[in-house]
Chains A and B, each alone.
Chain A
Amino acid sequence: MRPFLSVVVFLSAVVALGCPSAAWAAPATVIIESFQFSPGEVVVRPGEAVTFINRDAAPHTVSPAPGAKSAGTGRLLSGERRTVVFDRQGSYPYFCEFHTTMTGKVVVR
């Protein structure tokens, strides 16, 4: 089955099952621009995803702060995006490895 059809089938199944609206919510998005993560803090539910989009010309990273147990994005070149799923409740601060004054936080609750 082609990927597109797979997605359609999956979405149809979700509709048929009456999945709660939270499952329909588009991934939360954090824009990286002008050396800032915007919004600086995003709140999601367990299992939800956050998409990080680099709109700066320079590369950035979304790297977990020391002690924060979350996945990072690795290097995001200009225009690149990456989605990270946060499974467990908690606070997940992160920063850019290349510009360490850039910080943000994902709160899962």
Chain B
Amino acid sequence: MPHSKTDPEVTPSRRTVLATGLLAGAAGALGLVAADPVRGADRADLAILQAAHDLESQAIWAYGAAAGKLSSTDVGRTVLALALRNQEDHKKHRTALAEAIRDLGGTPAAPKPTYDLSAYLKAGEGGLDSDANIAKLALALEVDAVLAYQAAFGKLRTPAIQAAAATILPVESGHVTAIRAVFHTLVPAVEAVPAAFLSAATREVWVLRV
């Protein structure tokens, strides 16, 4: 898997990183500096952090790709504003995750030029042919980001990193709700929060199909 020495979205300044997230601070406070060999628990955490970092890269790419396809209608502009807002959060998440990876002695994987989301399109969980379908695709991706973070962050072995990583999860849930709230303004029957739980078992309730 290719790695880059530098991540264009990553700010190398430790001060900046600490200002943007707790992840790096958690790793640093534990003395998990890059010069140390990667230990067993750290290696397990690294795999999770790397995947989360990649997930953020995918989200940043997806919002960027979608932004160029949205119309200039009111709906298109509303979705665009939300997309760019969510994208900014994902950039900050990625920055924090990248620094945590480095603090554990790893190297953040380079963002890919494109990501294959055809499985979502094939499943009818969004599309690129209309503003609404683009928003549905974003919704499905955000729902799965929540599920991914729920499962993965709970398995982090370093408690300080686990606690810090948990600060990302509510924001991902917020993205889901924000997208659904946009749909609610268009179709009142679509509730912003359609279920008491967001889990693999209720995923179908949260995702909006084409």
Q: Do A and B come from one complex?
A: yes
Candidates B144, B151, B200; contact of A98 at CB < 8 Å: B144
CA distance A57 to B116 in the complex (A): 20
Given contacts A35-B47, A78-B203, contact A97 B119 (CB under 8 A): yes
Q: What per-residue 1/0 map shows which CB atoms of A28-67 lie under 8 Å from chain B?
A: 0000001110000000000000000000111101010000
Q: Please report the C-alpha to C-alpha distance between residue A103 and residue B94 in the assembled complex, in whole angstroms.
A: 20
Q: Given A78-B203, A97-B119, does the pair A56, B53 have CB atoms closer than 8 Å?
A: no
Give the CA-CA distance A75 to B203 in the complex, in Å.
14
Roughly how many angstroms separate A63 CA and B199 CA in the complex, as a whole number?
24
- Shortest Cβ gap from A100 to chain B (Å): 5
How many angstroms from the CA of A61 to the CA of B117 in the assembled complex?
11
**Residue A90 CB within 8 A of the other chain:** no
How many chain A residues touch the partner (CB < 8 A)? 21
Chain B, interface SS category: helix
Contact of B147 among A58, A102, A103 (CB under 8 A): A58
* A77 close to B (CB within 8 Å): yes
Closest to B120 in A: A75
Docked Cα-Cα span, A17 to B205, in Å, equals 51
Rounded to whole angstroms, the CA-CA distance of A57 and B53 in the bound complex is: 17
Query: Are A57 and B48 touching (Cβ within 8 A)?
Result: no
Across the two chains, which residue of chain A brings its CB closest to B198? A57
A58 near B54 with CB under 8 A, answer no
Q: Does A21 contact B (CB under 8 A)?
A: no
Interface residues of B in 127-171 (CB under 8 A from A): 144-145, 147-148, 150-152, 155
Give the contacting residue for B200; candidates A35, A63, A74, A78; CB below 8 A. A78
B144 surroundings in chain A (CB, below 8 A): 58-59, 98
Give the contacts of A62-89 with B (CB-CB under 8 A): 63, 74-75, 77-79
For A37, the closest partner residue in chain B by CB is B47
**Given A98-B58, A101-B50, 4 further pairs, Cβ under 8 A:** A35-B52, A61-B119, A79-B200, A101-B1
Q: Could you give 29 example pairs across A and B, Cβ below 8 Å?
A: A34-B151, A35-B50, A35-B52, A35-B148, A56-B147, A57-B148, A57-B150, A57-B199, A58-B144, A58-B145, A58-B152, A59-B144, A61-B119, A75-B122, A77-B200, A78-B147, A78-B200, A78-B203, A97-B119, A98-B115, A99-B54, A100-B54, A100-B115, A101-B1, A101-B50, A101-B53, A101-B54, A101-B109, A102-B51
- State the 5 A-B residue pairs at the shortest beta-carbon distance, nearest first: A78-B200, A35-B51, A58-B148, A57-B147, A75-B119
